[in-house]
Amino acid sequence: MNTAQPIRNLEDLKNFKNYYKEIHPNARNQLLVILGLNTALRISDLLTLRWEDVYNFSQNRWQEHIEIIEQKTGKTSCIYINHNIHACLQNYQAQLQKEQKPIQPEKYLFPHSNKNEPISRVQAFRIIKKVAAYYNIPGVICCHSLRKTFGYHAWKQGVQPAMLVSIYNHSSYEVTKRYLGIEQDDRDKIFQEIIL
């Protein structure tokens, strides 16, 4: 299979989430990983996020939701900012303050170092690939794996199919099942467990 795969193994997922926190500290890259895993947004949408999307500057507080018009579908998504995302945002903001780079509403969350634009998809791919290679995580792990990992583990934890279809803005549950490789996982489990 040459398509992006979710990170299925929980130990691999734990390691993946902590690489840019513990092994190779980098608050920006850590935020990219955590946002990708916890929002199910496509990388193209993640990279266009700005500080004003996560921080309310007029009220001097963190937003509760990210509201975004998805580039691919043109549909609006409203995504809750959970505790893990908040912690990474605060860590990143603290690092920027230490470097005397205060956050500003129009600045990208994932800025390119020499330009007033976000990092490229290629750079985001390198950030993700570096972690997957370090831990030797099986399968094709790339930026899209973050989005798929969210859905895969949501499904494993019992999230209703209709909710996953809604989160992904897919046309049907059949599309979502194929997207996450759920049907094949179900089949594999049967063949692993039924030994005659």
DSSP conformation letters of 105-172? TTSBSSB-SSSSSBPPHHHHHHHHHHHHHHHT--S--SHHHHHHHHHHHHHHTT--HHHHHHHHT-S-
> Which tokens is 112 given?
């390119």
144 is catalytic: yes
Q: Which listed residue (17, 20, 42, 177) is catalytic? A: 42
Q: Which listed residue (61, 72, 75, 83) is catalytic? A: 72
Q: Which listed residue (17, 144, 148, 177) is catalytic? A: 144
Q: Which listed residue (55, 92, 135, 179) is catalytic? A: 179
101 is catalytic: no
Instruction: Give CA–CA dist 149/29, Å, rounded.
Output: 17
Q: Which listed residue (17, 147, 148, 177) is catalytic? A: 147
14 is catalytic: no
Choose among 62, 50, 70, 44: nearest CA to 146.
44
72 is catalytic: yes
Q: Which listed residue (21, 153, 170, 178) is catalytic? A: 170
Q: Is 195 exposed, middle or buried (0-12, 13-18, 19+ CB in 10 A)?
A: exposed
Residue 19 gets which letter from DSSP? I
**Residues involved in catalysis:** 42, 72, 144, 147, 170, 179
